[in-house]
Amino acid sequence: MADAEYTFVVSQVNMTHMCQEMSVAVVNGQLPGPAIEVTEGDSVMVHIVNLSPYNMTIHWHGVRQLRNCWNDGVPMITQRPIQPNQNFTYRFDVVDQEGTLWWHAHEAFLRGTVHGEWWEKDLAKVGNNMTNGFFDDYSSGSTINGKLGDLFNCSGVPEESYVLDVEPGQTYLLRVINAALFSEYFLKIAGHKFTVVSADANYVNPFTTDTISIAPGETMDALVVADAPPGKYYMVALPSQAPPPDTQTPEWTTRALVKYTSPGNGSASSDDDVPEAPVMPDNHDTISSFYFHGNLTSLRHRRRAQVPKEADEHLFVVLGLGSICRNGGLSCKRGNTDEIILVANMNNVSFHLPPDMATPILESQYYHHQNGMDTLHELSNGPPVTFNFTDRDLIPFGPKEMALEPTSRAKLVRRFRHGATVDVVFQSTGMLQGDSNPMHLHGHDMFVLAQGLGNFDAARDVATYNLVDPPRKNTVLVPNLGWAAVRFVADNPGAWFIHCHYEFHLSMGMSAVFIVEDGPTVDTSLPPPPVGF
Ligand code: C2O
């Protein structure tokens, strides 16, 4: 028995946007997919019926999954994928979390079809291209609740907009999810302010802002009071990252409408009211996003929201791009795009699961299978950061050339003793060309202790750590050309994926698995796989 039980039928349907019909993968025929509503403490059961032609899993992004790694939904890390015409049931509890989390297929191209963007390209092909180091693919437009909005049109007919009806004086809770594959977003409503109350399903000290800045994988809960003169107002989501400026069109922006109604006599605005539009930040204004994230602090209302004062382990992770030889060997003509593949990496190792791998990492770990585990590569502390590009491969990168370090591919993992308090510093590098890195850890929340621009310098920066009320996040935004320091307690036994939620970094290997060992008692260990698993 579960408190909340759902059936998700995954299928392919045809949808038309921008004058073009596309086949997209959807759940229960809907785009965006169905919402799951639970009260804290609820147990949830979701039956997946896969009628799509794809292998897939569903990941419950940000759900803590304490001692429940089997239900985390990452292909070949926690389970074998659900094949076409197969069923699978996920079971999990929602405990000690409040606000908004989300679910998505843990497969790049399938995730793209679930929520945030409209693609005129075949996403299976885009996904395959990315894994092979090609990424000149961008979505065709952003959406708010699946609607492209009136800036998109074909044959002079505007696309449908999402409309939020509000009554004067009422307060609304907006659950904001960045489900896009490729970009941070700025969200703004003309004439209104947001009060941010929760981020990644952890309460924050409320703060008021006119712009929400949100990276892929992040969720924010914000209150909006309908206190403007009755009328119509645009709600605008502006991508603030990819695509590069030279391929970006203003139409990439999506608009929804906030429309005042009056309880007694219907509409408080007339059809020919021209909606007021907000003034948006510059789309490459990375500093606004930096300060927005710096405003998040924890409400500290739970025991789990208290940050440990000391760490047992320290890990320095450099995020970058690199190249490997397409032939799998070490020698190839570097600098020649036919012979090398562009990859993304952590400490210069790019995550890779061999296509013929038969046993998921979690299962190998649980049963102590030697087979499979002997080829794991340990993520060690990163090299000193350098923004110096000499001695690297130059490959064409869009309109420019880009310097890349020769790198390797492996099943990258790091093991942690149960209960260890771990500090990780994520350092972004100049190679990433203006991309920030939303780093997402499964199965744990991370305290975000500090962030900074430029290179992390322990002697200077450790002193700035917030050890009073750091926010708890499952996705920490590592600023463009900067760093972020996090602390987490490795108290959840299992094999947990950690990755950049920026899709082409993920597809190109900017990920690893954190293996958390069993604790000393049954209560602190991973139970056996569920019956029928
Ligand atoms: Cu939403 Cu592995 O991520």
Q: Is the CB of 61 under 6 A from ligand 1?
A: yes
Q: For a pLDDT cut of 90, what percent of the chain falls above it? A: 62
| pLDDT (0 to 100) of residue 156 | 84
Ramachandran assignment for 473, one of left (phi > 0), alpha (psi -120 to 50 degrees), beta (any other): beta
The more confident residue out of 333 and 52 is 52
178 and 273 Cβ atoms separated by less than 8 Å: no
Q: What is the pLDDT of residue 531?
A: 87
Nearest to 60 by CA among 506, 496, 505, 516: 496
Asked if residue 418 has its Cβ within 6 Å of ligand 1, the reply is no
Identify the pLDDT of residue 113: 42
Token couple for 200 = 């990644």
303-524: CATH topology is: Immunoglobulin-like (2.60.40)
Atom in ligand 1 nearest the alpha carbon of residue 104: 1
pTM of the entire structure? 0.92
| Domain 4-131 classification at class level | mainly beta
**Concatenated DSSP letters for 463-521?**
GG---SSPPEESEEEE-TTEEEEEEEEE-S-EEEEEEESSHHHHHTT-EEEEEEPP-SS
CATH superfamily of this structure's domain 141-294: Cupredoxins -  blue copper proteins (2.60.40.420)
User: Is the per-residue pLDDT at 451 higher than 80?
Assistant: yes
Q: Are strands 163-166 and 254-262 parallel, antiparallel or unpaired?
A: parallel
Percent of the chain residues past pLDDT 70, beyond the cut: 84
Side-chain-facing half-sphere of 57: CA atoms under 13 Å? 19
Q: Using a 6 Å cutoff on CB, does residue 440 contact ligand 1?
A: yes
Write down the domain spans for the chain: 4-131, 141-294, 303-524
Residue 59 in contact with ligand 1 by CB distance below 6 A:
yes
Q: Would you say the ipTM is above 0.95?
A: yes
**64 close to ligand 1 (CB < 6 Angstrom):** no
Residue nearest to atom 1 of ligand 1 (CA): 61
Nearest CA owner, ligand 1 atom 3: 61
Residue 177 CA to ligand 1 center (angstroms) comes to: 13
**b or e along 71-104 (b: 16 or more beta carbons within 10 Å of the residue's beta carbon)?**
bbbbbbbbbbbbeeeeebebebbbebbbbbbbbb
CA 78 – ligand 1 centroid, Å: 13
The verdict on the CB of residue 103 being under 6 Å from ligand 1 is no
Does the pLDDT value for residue 248 go beyond 90?
no
Following DSSP, what letter does each residue of 235-287 receive, concatenated?
EEEEE-SSSPGGG--GGGSEEEEEEEEETTTEESS-TTPPPB-PPPPPTT-HH
| pLDDT score of 112 | 44
Contact 27, 9 (CB under 8 A): yes
Q: What band does 286 get if pLDDT is binned at 50, 70 and 90?
A: confident
Nearest atom, ligand 1, residue 74 CA: 2
> Other C-beta atoms within 10 Å of 371: how many?
10
111 lines ligand 1 (CB under 6 A): no
Give yes or no for residue 391 having a pLDDT over 50.
Answer: no
Q: What is the pLDDT of residue 388?
A: 40
Write out pLDDT tens, residues 191-223.
999 999 999 999 999 999 999 999 999 999 999
What's the pLDDT band for 229 if we cut at 50, 70, 90? very high
pLDDT at 231: 95
Task: Note the pLDDT of residue 389.
Answer: 39
Residue 265 CA to ligand 1 center (angstroms) comes to: 45
What does the pLDDT look like over 354-377, one tens digit per residue? 888 889 999 999 998 876 677 899
pLDDT of residue 387: 41
Q: What pLDDT does residue 421 have?
A: 98
